[in-house]
Chains A and B, each alone.
Chain A
Amino acid sequence: MTDEKIIELFWQRDETAIGELSAKYGNYCGVVCGNILDNLQDKEECLNDTWLRAWNSIPPQSPKNLKMFLAKITRNLAIDRYKRQKSAKRGRGETELILEELEECISHKYDVEREVFSKEIGIAINEFLKTLSERDRNVFIRRYFYAESAEKIAKRYTLKATHVPVILTRTRMKLKNYLMKGELL
């Protein structure tokens, strides 16, 4: 079924929309949350939350790009669950590694005057990404949005596995400079 038709079902409050959504994007969203959560039960619950969140959001929203709309919902819900896992001292894996990497991009001096809203950071990240080559941008997105492993990214873009961490390190440094220049750090 087309995305257009699925959205129409949501607008009609037809519950078959959830079944269609799950059939079409279950695997995709499963990968998105599976990259962040390593517990199968958490992953399944995250997917169920995703369908419910979509049900509660459409209408009034009418996403132009349903797949990316779902990717963002799934990611946010997975991060929420990850935080709960972390506070309960369970779970580690890829996400912890990603956070360690991102630590290089942030300032360790906490300055309340420089604390900015995540919205501003979001805008800056998009601007920054547009300054990168398509390859470097894609590698960065697969790692820090989709939380994919370096091996998987290398396979996706036919790069050498050792090349991905090099690209990521260089891009993180560029991001740090970019954020500092914009006085966002």
Chain B
Amino acid sequence: MTKEALFESMSAIEDELLEKSERKAFNWKKFAVAAACVCLVTAAAVAVIPKLMGETSVPPIINIEDLPPIVPTDPGSPDTPVSPEEPLLPEYLFDAIYNDADSIISSSFLVNIPGYFTEELNESEIKSLGLVFETEWINFTGHAGFDQDGNLLEVRMSTPTRVPEVEIYVGFSEVFPTYDYVYSTEVQTSTVGNVEVSMYRWSQEDVIYLDARAVIDGVNVYFHAEATSENEAEVKKDFESIIYLYVNWFDSDGLDGIKAEYIPEYKNESLTLSEAYNDADFGLYMPKELPDGFAEESVRRYKNYQLNYLSGLWTEGYSQISWRVSYLSAEDESRFTTVEAVENYDLSLYPIPMAESVPEELREIVNDPIFNIEDLTLDVVYARSRNMEDENDVSGYRTSFDVRIGDVVIRISTKGVSPEWIYNSLKELVR
């Protein structure tokens, strides 16, 4: 083995280890101290076990009567809607301390949990969380996320703000699934009633990310908004208002009543091509043969609440064939084209960069046109192919388009593969 080969082999280091190395040891100690503070505050009232863990029921940690007054002045009756005319949200509700982060690390998303699915929250579910305010701008909608057994994992909601096109997101989950922030200074928490809230601010280019995390009523709650330098002050007012309202009125018992109505089928299977041919839905639509030299990278049968497909990836060096079969959906209708309408698909009409050469109204169909298999000709496949010379990659044709056969759609994306092979492979499916 050479030193170069050893250096290259480091690319195999697992993502989890790489991600851990991103964290600055010093800052994470500070973060741990801040987190410990949150725990201490809550532990003073009760041992905190997030209810989402499905363990012992936890009494509320917030003594509403101890909180500073808020209009309306009857916090004991959260079911009473607030009249929009009343000055519901004073501008300065609490002393918000935003910790400026040096950078952020995206943390993993629950959506990657096998079998994860979501259902929209209905109005009574949202109200059961204690959010019954009827104001001119607060109007929560959202969804609940479940695992493949139907256990509630998280709730994500959003509301418009008084700033056009800006929304505030609120989530409840076992973990804080937004971002991990990296600091060079000690994290300070903001006190809202009896609750310590960690608030973060991070900017990249013109986007300012505002985040906050707290344990409210025994549940992890996070808040998120995105602002610009022009509207940051206005967005912060609404952001802080929402945090204040949640700390005061959030009712974690409402989470117990959020149940999945239907658990969708989940499949995520690695197959061989031979096994894939036996798939009842899509097996007939996989390629019968591959060009010489191509090796199987992956063949996958995937089905969840949103996706349902059988796909394959084969490579030879940098050349590749990606083949994906799914059912036709109503959303595909806008991408159908006839062979005569060359402006919908002929790449020779649109030089690179396509963002500049393709008219906006044709972008979707030019990117991913769908042809009926009966209409497909070799000339059409050539029209969907660009012959590229690339010293850093394989030279040859780059081809992509979709084909409809009955009620399925096959998406083809290849690099370094001849249009003749693509054409013959597709026609073979209907012979």
Contact = CB atoms under 8 A, between A and B. Distances in A.
B8 interface: yes
A154 to B, nearest CB: 11
B205 A64 contact: no
Interface string A108-119: 000000011011
Nearest to B353: A15
Contacts of B427: none
Contacts, number: 141
B57 interface: no
A103 B5 CA distance: 10
B18 A106 contact: no
A126 B25 CA distance: 21
Contacts of B5: 118, 121
A99 B6 CA distance: 9
Interface of B: 1-15, 17-21, 24-26, 105-106, 108-109, 111-112, 204-205, 298, 300, 311-313, 320, 322, 324, 354-355, 363, 367-368, 392-393, 400, 411, 413, 415
A135 B25 contact: yes
15 contacts: A2-B109, A56-B320, A56-B413, A61-B313, A76-B11, A102-B7, A105-B6, A118-B5, A118-B9, A121-B9, A126-B17, A138-B21, A141-B10, A157-B26, A185-B1
Interface residues of A, number: 64
Contacts of A146: 21
A178 to B, nearest CB: 12
B6 A121 contact: yes
Nearest 9 CB-CB pairs, A to B? A122-B12, A68-B15, A138-B21, A141-B21, A121-B9, A158-B26, A102-B3, A103-B3, A65-B15
B21 A142 contact: yes
Nearest to A52: B393
Nearest to A86: B4
B6 A98 contact: no
Contacts of A3: 106, 109
Contacts of B324: 59-60
A106 B17 contact: no
Interface in A29-56: 45, 49, 52, 56
Contacts of A151: none
A65 B16 CA distance: 9
A68 B18 contact: yes
B4 A64 contact: no
Nearest to B367: A13
A76 B300 CA distance: 25
A126 B21 contact: no
Contacts of B19: 65, 67-68
A134 interface: yes
Given A13-B367, A79-B7, A65 B108 contact: yes
A117 B115 CA distance: 35
A99 B7 contact: yes
B322 A118 contact: no
Contact of B17 (A49, A67, A141): A141
A168 interface: no
B2 A106 contact: yes
Given A13-B368, A107-B1, A118-B5, A59 B311 contact: yes
A88 interface: no
Given A24-B204, A134-B20, A59 B3 contact: no
B65 to A, nearest CB: 39
Contacts of B413: 56, 59
A126 B9 CA distance: 10
A9 to B, nearest CB: 11
Contacts of B20: 134, 137-138
Query: Which of A106, A107, A142 has the largest number of chain B CB atoms within 10 A?
Result: A106
Interface in A128-163: 129-130, 134-135, 137-138, 141-142, 144-146, 156-158
Contact of A137 (B4, B21, B112, B400): B21
Contact of B6 (A49, A102, A141): A102
Interface string A81-113: 101000000000000001110110111000000
A118 B12 contact: yes
A87 B15 CA distance: 31
Contacts of B11: 72, 75-76, 79, 122, 145
B24 A79 contact: no
Contacts of A116: 1
A173 interface: no
Nearest to B320: A56
A157 B3 CA distance: 27
A108 to B, nearest CB: 10
Contacts of B205: 23
B24 A80 contact: no
B13 A129 contact: yes
Contacts of A103: 3
Nearest to A67: B106
Given A65-B15, A80-B392, A144-B7, A60 B311 contact: yes
B299 to A, nearest CB: 10
A13 B6 CA distance: 36
B102 to A, nearest CB: 11
Contacts of B26: 157-158
Contact of B300 (A60, A125, A138): A60
A25 to B, nearest CB: 9
